[in-house]
Amino acid sequence: MVQYEPLIAPFAPDHSDLVHDIQYDFYGKRIATCSSDQRVKVWHIDSETEGWEVADAWKAHDCSIVKVAWAHPEFGSVLASCSYDRSIKIWEEQEHDECPDPQSLSLWSLTSETQLLTHQSPKETDRLPITWCPSRFHPPQLVIATSTSHRLFLPCQNYRLSAASLWMPFERLDPHSDADVLDVAWAPNMGRSYELVATGSRDGVVRIFKLVWIDIIEESGVAVESGGGKGMWKVDLVASLADHGAAVWRVSWNLLGTVLSSCGEDGKVRVWRAGVGREECQWVCSQVIGASDA
Amino acid sequence: MQSYASVAAQNTHASNSSLSTALSAFDDDGGRHGFRSSEALNVNEATGPSGPSSVALAPATTTSTTTTTLTTTTSTSNSTSTSTSKRTLRCRMQSPLSVLSASPDYSKVLVGGKDVLKILRISDADVKEWLNLRAGLKTQLNYSLTDAKWAPPFAEATIASAYLNGDILIWDLNRGSQKQAFSLKDHDQSVNRLSFSPIERVLLLSACQDATVKLWDLRDKSGPSTTFEGRADKVRDVQFSPTSPYEFIAAFENGDVQKWDLRKPSEPERRWSAHFGLALTIDWHPDGSVFASAGRDKVIKFWDTKAEGRKPFQTIQTSSHVARIAWRPSSNGIPAHQIASCSLAVDSKLTVWDLGRGFVAEWAVEEHDDPITDFLWTDADVVWTVSKDHMFVRQDLHVAGYHPSALLSPCAADWNQYGDLTFSIPHKVTTFHPPTHPPSSLKTKHPSATNIHSAPINTGSLPAIAVRTSSSSAQSTASPLNQIPTIPSPHPGPIAQLSAIYETESFNHVSFIQLAYTYKTTTSPHPTPSEIWDLCMHNSEAASNLDLPRASQTWKFLGLLFGTDTPAPTTSTNPALFKKASTALPHSQKTTPSQQYTHTPPPEFTTDPFPEEDLDDEPDILDSDTDSDDDDEDVRFNQAALKASKRGISVTTAGQYTGAAWFKRTPFTTTGEHGFEDSSDDEAITNAGSSLASTTAGGGRLMVGLANWNPRSTVTIPGVIHTSEVASIDSTNHHVSGGVETAVAAVAAQEPKWVFEGIAVPQLDHEKLAKDVLEFYGELGNAQMCCTILMVLRGALGGAKIDARVKEVWVSSYVDLLHRFKLWTPASHILSHCSIPSIQSRTQESTTFHTACGFCSKPIPNAPQPGWVCERCLAVTSTCGLCHGPVKGAFTWCFGCQHGGHLQCMAKWFERNRECCCGCGHVCVFT
């Protein structure tokens, strides 16, 4: 078997503090980074050097920026950022002075509000990692992890948009652990018969949940309406991967939903793949990336 | 924390020596563990003198637990501090509070609000109201309190309070019931701040809305001894120097900060344009040469009074307007290097910043529900605060506080469709470079203080990135890498980040893009078998050219299944004739098929056709390269094929294994034990039922005969060697999962050519097999394969019960991927030709044409006459160059001369002419 030399290309975000999020755009040709230095940077590949160069960088918020997200290109070149300054900002790239339809971006209204925590005023220490179900063939749904300093909740829960456009809690993703969940990621699905959701938590364990949709059929033979979808998730914890041994802050799937990467406080990136040979897939670490000790 | 506490409890019962061993063990582990051990000790002490109640009482026990577990970086000063953590104390007043000043011995505290002025007595256990200064006052206080200060030591019975009308009252606590001593009147606008001189205790400064600062000598009640006019704006803050009896600084609403000398009242000694907008607060560093200022611009700036220049030597970006700042006292003799701030509005936290980190706070305490209005430090860890929420709170950072940095992810990562993983991961930096520009003053005074000031850019050695695969370790270096400024020395482990892009080959985008163009699909809803055959062979070839044997074989497999006519009757005796094209056969041997192919399957095969020998143990499949992908997928595919075959036939008895198909092939030298040799020229095979699979007798090689062969055709399939991949399963010992490849490789080397002359026709459930294939690729996330198969087979899939929603997922996932690679043409082709209505309808949505008149350049609205007449200039927008009629449909033109017209006209013209029909002389080129 040919051993491929893994390729590591340089990428220097050059922020003045920690980088908290990195996001490729839809075409994979641009990168947005955000940092505690209150700046968002957009990178593109320089045609001459073929390296990543800053296309734009600006002070976006008054506090640590923890997330950035690109919109689908059908909405233009649009980027959202959220920060501990309690604001979400939507940015649109303007190559020309004219803005095609400014209204479409500036008018955002709250469509729904759901109480997740038991106490009224959320504290800064409440972490709520959140992930959308990327499939357009399920009703809109999320998995939200609630920080477990509020023990009344299990860490992860599936929320679905009900017919009355309310977000209702449904199945729980029980990790059999009370550690804080720091990140949660719903895998893209290109035609698998089941869904995968990965979590990274403070106890250093990467967990993978398998969600199988089961249609609920009433006796009359009509499917039961439950939270916008006719059925329920059968949730199984299929993997608990404790290799990091330190808080796992980021889990992310590749675009096919077949490879998972996790980053931990141990300063390592681990790449996980489903081992094959069994009906139940087994997840195994295929790569460990980190600073070499040498 | 509880676990540590229990450790400590055990240690108290143990001997001293064992305790010290435990501690030394902790110390060996490094700074972080050193902190833990000290925590354990602290708990110990807490339970010691004041009894267990001091732990149990703490209302913030849960918070402290969380905080401790959250803690990743903690100032080492804690580990040596011997003070016990103080529990949080609260006292509620009747109205919002805005003023706070402690008695010099910190046993009492003066709190005030608009209509409150009280003294509270504070002990370790509780806080109680001690004196209401407003009670029993003869003169009515009609104006709101703006500030109040307790005088420094040696004048500790004196309190000064300031009011909105400009009055300053001096109180003497040694007097009887009536504490008010006298008032100082000279300001006629609000007094914003008072400041006692820490050295000359009778001197008081007042900062006023009337743009002046006045100096009062409390012995002289007649009036201010000096008035300082800053000529700037309203004065918001003033503070005497902690070290010099003559110096003070003042902050102005226009953003100015000025430093004055009492001996030179005519003009300020220095002035800085410090802030954009209001400068609201200032605080001297205890060393008296450095001070900090902050204001509405949300920035805390640090100034060195001894340094030239107009720039601060450090800034900290806070998240809201800064109302007050105060240096955190330090322990261990390290100069203060942290500063606390509270916000003017919105934010009810007290935030403690470290000079080494300009964006992320070191500590935060959120004990109030409304913004904190004033606060002071009583020691390095304890803060007293008052807030608009009526509360006075005493809090200990280690009990009530948390580290905001611990809430922030030190990691980030994302994948793109090319399989690149960009990441930032924490990286502990062990090497430091000394700070570059420490302020001269501090440098001379406190040699140990050099690292507190500038945020040194860590230029420690660039770390290499190691990627360790499970089987081997490969190293590769990336540089330059991101470095963040190091956090100064009190932090145990400064965290930097390591960022790079890891180019995995988890997705073979080159093949994907190639195949997007080369794969052929059909548009007819019910393609004929021959059409399917052609498409499958084309696609197989396309995949094969890209070295994708599995895809290639799948296409052949599908071609065999669907690309042939209706199966012939299966009961007849079929001449299944496979003639080998190559003549070189080492040695031939005639056997009857029943002998050759009949065998009793080994028990493990019957019980479990999917061997559980996990390939996980093999490092190869974990590798991200394409080859290994193919390998493990191949194995799975074999299983799928086997599964399929299992459905087609029941693999139970030997009799059913009578070979349906006869393969004549070169010996499998590499498969070892039982060479697979058979030759039966023109030997007829009795097809014993619907047998699909045939296995070799001993070699454990199961040949899944895929052929539903059309006797009419004699097809030569080059490279059928890969059949073994598609259709062979080692049924006895599964080690040959690798063996399969070896066999394939070996056969590939021999390049046999097969001639199929005729074949027995097994009855197969085509749809089921196709469905299995589709689902197999679906599980792999190979939407390209799924979608293309769907679009090749179309109606032929007929009875296969595939959920319409799943089909939709395959097609839309594929289209989405194509879009991500900007492969618009293949994507549009699929969108417009796929048979799924919901997907097709996407082409009808959100596609907009904007039309403009070629003469007046004005847009032409679509309705009611789309496109060809401009209503503004009443002209036909485009006329044909040949017939001069309006072009209402497709307008074709030459890119060279821009002339053109109706497609038919142009076609007609250029059948006979080469030059433009408009007479411009251009030799037009139409593509």
CA A64/CA B317 separation, integer angstroms: 10
pLDDT (average), residues B610-635: 37
Within 8 A of A285 by CB-CB distance, chain B residues are: 470, 622
Select the residue of B422, B495, B632 nearest A22 (Cβ to Cβ).
B422
Residue A97 has pLDDT above 90, yes or no: no
Please tell me which residue of chain A has the smallest CA distance to B633.
Answer: A276
pLDDT, position A145:
82
Residue B238 has pLDDT above 70, yes or no: yes
As a whole number, the mean pLDDT across chain B is 66
Select the residue of B66, B425, B469 nearest A287 (Cβ to Cβ).
B469
Residue B599 has pLDDT above 50, yes or no: no
> Is A190's CB within 8 Å of B783's CB?
yes
pLDDT, position B751:
39
**Confidence tier at B609 by pLDDT (50, 70, 90):** very low
User: Helix axis angle, B783-793 relative to B766-780, nearest 10°?
Assistant: 160
Helices (H), B326-415: 397-400, 404-407
pLDDT, position A292:
67
> Is B426's CB within 8 Å of A189's CB?
no
pLDDT (average), residues B502-508: 81
pLDDT, position A95:
63
- Which range, of B121-135, B228-242, B372-386, B588-602, averages the lowest pLDDT? B588-602
Select the residue of B72, B505, B612 nearest A4 (Cβ to Cβ).
B505
Within 8 A of A70 by CB-CB distance, chain B residues are: none
H and E: helices and strands count for chain A: 1, 20
Residue B273 has pLDDT above 80, yes or no: yes
pLDDT, position B35:
32
CA B9/CA B40 separation, integer angstroms: 8
From the CB of residue B832, how many other CB atoms can be counted at a distance below 10 Å? 13
CA A3/CA B314 separation, integer angstroms: 50
**Confidence tier at A125 by pLDDT (50, 70, 90):** low
- Which range, of B448-457, B546-555, B588-597, B747-756, averages the lowest pLDDT? B448-457
Please give the C-alpha separations between residue A26 and each of B67, B416, B474, B848, in angstroms, as whole numbers: 39, 8, 31, 21
pLDDT (average), residues A217-242: 69
Contact at 8 Å (CB) between A156 and A144? yes
Q: Which residue has the higher pLDDT, B122 or B35?
A: B122
ipTM: 0.89
- Separation in Å, CA of B818 to nearest CA in chain A: 10
Domain ranges of chain A: 16-109, 126-294
pLDDT (average), residues B213-240: 87
The pLDDT tens digits for B159-187 are 898 988 888 888 888 877 777 778 888 88
> Is B499's CB within 8 Å of A13's CB?
yes
A194's CB contacts (< 8 A; 6+ apart) are A210, A211, A212, A213
Residue A38 has pLDDT above 60, yes or no: yes
> Is A193's CB within 8 Å of B317's CB?
no
Please give the C-alpha separations between residue B262 and each of A239, B166, B212, B562, in angstroms, as whole numbers: 72, 22, 14, 101
Q: Which residue has the higher pLDDT, B241 or B685?
A: B241
pLDDT, position B283:
94
Q: Which residue has the higher pLDDT, A176 or A88?
A: A88
**Confidence tier at B640 by pLDDT (50, 70, 90):** very low
Select the residue of B357, B369, B423 nearest A269 (Cβ to Cβ).
B423
Tell me if the bond preceding B864 is cis, omega within 30° of 0. Answer: yes
Residue B741 has pLDDT above 80, yes or no: no
Domain ranges of chain B: 2-57, 412-503, 568-763
- Which range, of A74-83, B621-630, B798-807, averages the lowest pLDDT? B621-630
Highest mean pLDDT among B481-485, B625-629, B711-715: B625-629
pLDDT, position B282:
94
Residue B112 has pLDDT above 50, yes or no: yes
Select the residue of A7, A18, A74 nearest B497 (Cβ to Cβ).
A18
As a whole number, the mean pLDDT across chain A is 79
- Separation in Å, CA of A170 to nearest CA in chain B: 23
pLDDT, position B184:
85
**Chain centroid, CA A275 distance in Å:** 23
Hey, of B362, B411, B502, B616, which one would you mutate to test binding to chain A, going by the most A CBs within 10 A of its CB? B411
Pick the CATH number of A126-294 from 3.10.20.30, 2.130.10.10, 3.40.718.10, 2.60.40.10: 2.130.10.10
Residue B251 has pLDDT above 90, yes or no: yes
Percent of chain B surpassing pLDDT 70:
58
pLDDT, position B233:
86
Q: Which residue has the higher pLDDT, B598 or A53?
A: A53
Length of chain A: 294
Residue B19 has pLDDT above 90, yes or no: no
pLDDT, position B607:
31
> Is B809's CB within 8 Å of A189's CB?
yes
Percent of chain A surpassing pLDDT 90:
17
> Is A13's CB within 8 Å of B420's CB?
no
Element (H, E) at B637: helix B626-648
pLDDT, position B490:
40
Select the residue of B466, B506, B612 nearest A291 (Cβ to Cβ).
B466
pLDDT, position B824:
87
The pLDDT tens digits for A45-78 are 887 877 888 888 999 998 899 999 998 888 888 8
Residue A33 has pLDDT above 90, yes or no: yes
From the CB of residue B538, how many other CB atoms can be counted at a distance below 10 Å? 16
Hey, of A125, A146, A279, which one would you mutate to test binding to chain B, going by the most B CBs within 10 A of its CB? A125
Which residue spans within B370-494 are E strands per DSSP?
Answer: 372-377, 382-387, 391-396, 401-402, 412-415, 420-428, 465-469, 473-476
**Confidence tier at B865 by pLDDT (50, 70, 90):** low
Please tell me the number of Cα atoms within 13 Å of B140 on its side-chain side.
1
- Separation in Å, CA of B268 to nearest CA in chain A: 33
pLDDT, position B520:
86
pLDDT (average), residues B879-897: 79
Q: Which residue has the higher pLDDT, B74 or B82?
A: B82
- The first and second tokens of residue B884, run together, are 């001069």
The pLDDT tens digits for B52-62 are 333 333 333 33
**Confidence tier at B602 by pLDDT (50, 70, 90):** very low
> Is B407's CB within 8 Å of A125's CB?
yes
Within 8 A of A282 by CB-CB distance, chain B residues are: 614, 616
Q: Which residue has the higher pLDDT, B779 or A199?
A: A199
